[in-house]
Amino acid sequence: MTYNAEVQFKFDATWTPSYNSSFSDDDFIPEEHYLITAPAGDLNCKQYFKLFEKFMLCVGMCPQSIRSGAMSLVFNDFVTLEEQRKVCKEYEITMDEDLEDKFQEWKKNEEELAEKIANSVIGAMGTVLTEEELTNLEEGQ
């Protein structure tokens, strides 16, 4: 048994000039028709979104608006916080309410690093000496 499927995005537009407009007829195409088709049998979700992105670009949407619209599917009041956090983790995004925790973690890491550097012996050209190198240095080897 074979399965064939096709998805289509179709856009038809006509423009009728009003002669009291400040735009000239050269600024607009009087008629536009777009038909985007793709085999739908094997498309995954991301491929469908990519296809729809191309369609929206064809009808004049700007890339920033398309991305904003895609993000609004996840980050809205109808999606649970748990689901939003899953997406954040997948794409390594930090939610605003998590910034304070991230900052405190960063501060702690910086303090630990500063303490480690303060307790280390710095060798020539700023290298940190290992215990063995430090022992050899102290013994004069």
Q: Are residues 72 and 124 in the same domain?
A: no
Quick one: 21 and 75 in the same domain? Answer: yes
55 shares its domain with 45: yes
Name the residue range of residue 54's domain.
6-98
Q: Is the dihedral of CA 66, 96, 89, 103 positive or negative?
A: positive
Examine residue 74 and state whether it is found in any structural domain, yes or no.
yes
Same domain, yes or no, for 52 and 12? Answer: yes
Could you tell me the pTM of the whole model?
A: 0.61
Q: 94 with 104, same domain? A: no
Could you tell me the two tokens for 19? Answer: 């002669």
The per-residue pLDDT for 126 is 66
Residue 68 located in a structural domain: yes
123 neighbors 115 (Cβ within 8 angstroms): no
Are residues 18 and 74 part of one domain? yes
Domain-located, residue 35: yes
Q: Are residues 45 and 90 in the same domain?
A: yes
Q: What pLDDT sits at residue 23?
A: 57
Q: How confident is the model at residue 136 (pLDDT cuts 50, 70, 90)?
A: confident
Tens of pLDDT, residue by residue over 93-120, are 999 999 999 999 999 999 988 887 776 6
Q: Are residues 70 and 124 in the same domain?
A: no
1 in a domain, yes or no?
no
Residue 44's pLDDT is 92
pLDDT at 141 over 70: no
Query: Average pLDDT over the chain, rounded to whole?
Result: 85
Please give the pLDDT value at position 87: 95
Q: Is residue 19 part of a domain?
A: yes
- The reported pLDDT for the residue numbered 49 is 94
123 has a pLDDT exceeding 70: no
Q: What does 76-112 look like in DSSP terms, one character per residue?
A: STTS-HHHHHHHHHHHT---GGGHHHHHHHHHHHHHH
Give yes or no: residues 45 and 67 share one domain: yes
* pLDDT tier for residue 9 given thresholds of 50, 70 and 90: very high
Same domain for 11 and 79, yes or no, is yes
Tally of structural domains, the chain: 2
Q: Is the pLDDT reported for residue 17 higher than 80?
A: no
Both tokens of residue 58? 């064809």
